[in-house]
Chains A and B, each alone.
Chain A
Amino acid sequence: MNTPATTTLLSVRQLTMRFGGLTAIDDLSLEVPAGKITGIIGPNGAGKTTLFNCLTGFYKPTTGSLRLNHPRHGEIRLETLPSHRVARDAQVVRTFQNIRLFPKMTVLENLIVAQHNVLQRASKFSIAGLFNLPGYRRAEAESIARAATWLRRLGLEQLADHAAGELPYGIQRRIEIARALCVDPLLLCLDEPAAGLNPRESAELNDLLLYLSGELGLSILLIEHDMSVVMRVSDHIGVISYGRKIAEGTPEQVKNDPQVIKAYLGEDDDEDDSEQRTHAVAGGANP
């Protein structure tokens, strides 16, 4: 599945999300190209997670539209769908900033639950499942094989039969990504996947993201604070501050944009401090 570099997968148009008096997203427009990694950065409280929540049906935007250009179903207006249909029909799948696994279930079970819709269809209202008919058995074996493939790719095979909630934080992050991949996403939305990871784990995450987009042609929308990840893997970056898009472009362009530097600094910072912080942003790409 090779898509031309110019195809737009998702276009966010004049999106506004208000909570009472607070405008979390303010007239935001953004294009997400197919088969690429699009980074979203911005200070805390800028509205990045809110954007994901609008995108995946957890919030209904106040105004604006989210149009997904689906290769099979044509244009899908994401803002009109409930969250489970965004994942199931539009194949836009997300992870959460504060990990949301099924903690008491094993890692493998987490990945099998992610394939619920396929399996449920194969189980024919559980009738085929209750009697363990061949059609259902085959579907189950396939789902296990698919889960096993991702577990192997993410180095989680040894942990497959452990309760997910008992594993270390960095591993839980990886499980959440593996689980999202099992939903068969067209667009994978990752909300700060490197948060809480050590440098080695961050580097592994880089490799994984590059593999997913480079080798598999998956489109990824990446919210990230860790500059070493976002600057290195993103093809394109959008910067949000106070709900508005303040800059957009390649990592190089964004890094040197005075607006971005200002947003990351705050306007009242004095000279010395701002100089230091500039280095922090600009030098972020180098570990």
Chain B
Amino acid sequence: MSAVVFARHAMTPAERLRDAAWVAFVGLVLGIPMVGLTTVDAGGRLGVETRFGLLAAVVAAVFGGRLLLRWAIDQARNRKLERERASTATAADRASGALKLVNFLGWVALGTAITLPILFSDNRYVVDTATTVLIYVMLGWGLNVVVGLAGLLDLGYVAFYAVGAYSYALLSTQFGWSFWEALPVSGALAASFGILLGYPILRLRGDYLAIVTLGFGEIIRIILVNWTEFSGGPNGISSIPRPSFFGLDFTRSPAEGEQSFAGFFGLEFSPMHRLIFLYYLILVLALLTHAFVSRLRKLPVGRAWEALREDEIACQAMGMNTTHIKLSAFAIGAMLGGFGGVFFAARQGFISPESFVFTESAIILAIVVLGGMGSQMGVVLAATLLVLIPEFGRGLAEYRMLLFGLAMVLIMVWRPGGLLAHREPTLRLKPLQQSAPAKEAAR
């Protein structure tokens, strides 16, 4: 047994040949019916023809491919081992390296996000896609509180997104509320729904929690489909007012006595103005979300969420009320999802239950998991990837989702902990070495 285990680390050439021969044999066995034999139409009757030449080629390819694969794996392993041996870096060095990388990525992402609409000011497609990325980033950060920090697997997050979107849609179309008036109220409503969902499932964990939250998401969607008088049913709600820029609308011909954005600034009307405004709006909302969540993480609540994820029983033994901690995670996560929903409704101008299906929950969850549970920067990377991959795959038509799945599998094989699995402590007794003089000076 141990011989096999050893052999897996670095095979001798003979072992590699034997391994490849074995795999080629399996290929041959499978290949005979699949490749070696084929049916032909022989004058109205079905005949069997052999294709041994092709079969031989396939088996040879399998043999060569396997040989190459094993060799590549061994090379990669050796290099990794060497690197590990050679690295005299302490854990602190590595931690500060990871921190630097994350910070660097953060500044690059922020710079890109701010300049993007300036560079692509007449490219509707780019600005639209970037807005979608930011919505997912914001939702990812919201769900990150529940799943990444508190460790509560929530498969129905889209429900809070829907609550936010419908709250704004109804408040604005029925009562004439503006975007900025409706935003906090919708967030509060979503948070209440978070608590509402949280209560019955306080005792559930893991799979059971996932199933119930999944059900909750579906219940909200089904209510929206069926309660026609309230939500417009499957037809949804249309002509939702768009947010204005401090009272200035983005219209070609403003209503009597009002001014439009273009008119006020003396610009020529362009439909891009509104798109760019919406883009910056979600950027600001997302950045506020980021600042809020990052700060919460360093506060007692945030540490309590992480402690809850690590060990609920130990939390109780430390005198922590886990009920409050769970509910606060659900409420904050739901509120952020609700804000995302308000923006979504305002951007689309039209919403229907179809926008809030389980797939959305799954994508947001995938963003959190791929990003590296609890990692804020990871969410940005994962959201960008998960929105862009299907976009780039448009040319591939029906293979698009296949590409999407493949990318997810590859990421999880390559980085099982997520793209950025590094966890930065919320506080340190001793500041990191590199930054020590700076911190000392700042005191």
- Chain A residues in contact with chain B, CB under 8 A? 56-58, 82-89, 93-94, 96, 100-106, 108-109, 112-114, 116-117, 119-120, 123, 126, 129-130, 140, 144, 147-148, 151, 157, 160-163, 179-180, 183
Contacts and interface: CB of A to CB of B under 8 A. Distances in A.
Interface of chain B, main secondary structure: helix
B428 A179 contact: no
Contacts of B223: none
14 contacts: A56-B317, A58-B316, A93-B317, A100-B313, A102-B306, A105-B310, A113-B303, A113-B304, A116-B307, A117-B319, A119-B300, A120-B304, A126-B301, A144-B429
B296 interface: yes
A229 B255 CA distance: 86
Contacts of A105: 303, 306-307, 310, 425
Contact of A101 (B296, B311, B319, B320): B311
Contacts of B296: 126, 130
Contacts of A84: 315-316, 318-322
Contacts of B322: 84
Contacts, number: 122
B54 interface: no
The 6 A-B residue pairs whose C-beta atoms are closest, nearest first, are A88-B319, A87-B319, A102-B310, A160-B429, A129-B299, A100-B314
Contacts of A104: 306, 310, 423
Contacts of B292: 130
Given A102-B310, A104-B310, A161 B430 contact: yes
B91 interface: yes
B429 A87 contact: no
A86 B92 CA distance: 38
What bracket does the count of chain B residues touching chain A fall in?
Answer: 20 to 34
Nearest to A93: B317
Contacts of B321: 84, 88
Contacts of B315: 84, 113
Given A93-B318, A129-B301, 15 more contacts: A86-B319, A87-B317, A100-B317, A105-B306, A105-B307, A109-B427, A114-B318, A116-B320, A123-B300, A129-B300, A144-B429, A157-B429, A160-B429, A161-B425, A183-B319
A57 to B, nearest CB: 8
Given A103-B310, A129-B300, A179-B318, A112 B429 contact: no
A213 B3 CA distance: 54
Interface in B77-130: 91-92
A160 B430 contact: yes
B426 interface: yes
B299 to A, nearest CB: 4
B427 A112 contact: yes
Contacts of A162: 91
Contacts of B428: 106, 108, 160-161
B299 A130 contact: yes
A78 B292 CA distance: 39
Contact of A83 (B300, B301, B316, B426): B316
A149 to B, nearest CB: 12
A94 B427 contact: no
B295 interface: yes
Contacts of A117: 319-320
Interface string B282-299: 000000000010011001
A115 to B, nearest CB: 8
B311 A100 contact: yes
Nearest to B91: A162
A87 B425 contact: no
A5 to B, nearest CB: 29
Nearest to A139: B300
A105 B428 CA distance: 11
Contacts of A103: 310-311
A147 B243 CA distance: 49
A123 B299 contact: yes
Contact of B303 (A89, A112, A148, A180): A112
A159 to B, nearest CB: 10
B317 A116 contact: no
A119 B320 CA distance: 11
A155 B383 CA distance: 44
A146 to B, nearest CB: 12
A196 to B, nearest CB: 18
Contacts of B92: 161
A58 B303 contact: no
Given A102-B311, A113-B307, A161-B92, A108 B317 contact: no
A122 to B, nearest CB: 8
A91 to B, nearest CB: 8
A87 B316 contact: yes
A106 B428 CA distance: 8
A151 to B, nearest CB: 7
Interface string B419-443: 0000101111110000000000000
A88 B324 CA distance: 14
Contacts of A160: 428-430
Given A109-B427, A123-B299, A129-B300, A96 B310 contact: no
Contacts of B311: 100-103
Contact of A116 (B313, B318, B423, B426): B318
Contact of A109 (B91, B314, B426): B426
A59 to B, nearest CB: 12
Nearest to B314: A100
B426 to A, nearest CB: 6
Contacts of A161: 92, 425, 428-430
A257 B317 CA distance: 35
Interface in B398-437: 423, 425-430
A179 B92 CA distance: 23
A55 to B, nearest CB: 11
Nearest to A120: B300
Nearest to A182: B318
Nearest to B92: A161
Contacts of A144: 427, 429
A270 to B, nearest CB: 40
Contacts of B318: 84, 87, 93, 113-114, 116, 179, 183
Contacts of A151: 429
Contacts of B429: 108, 144, 147-148, 151, 157, 160-161
Contacts of A85: 319
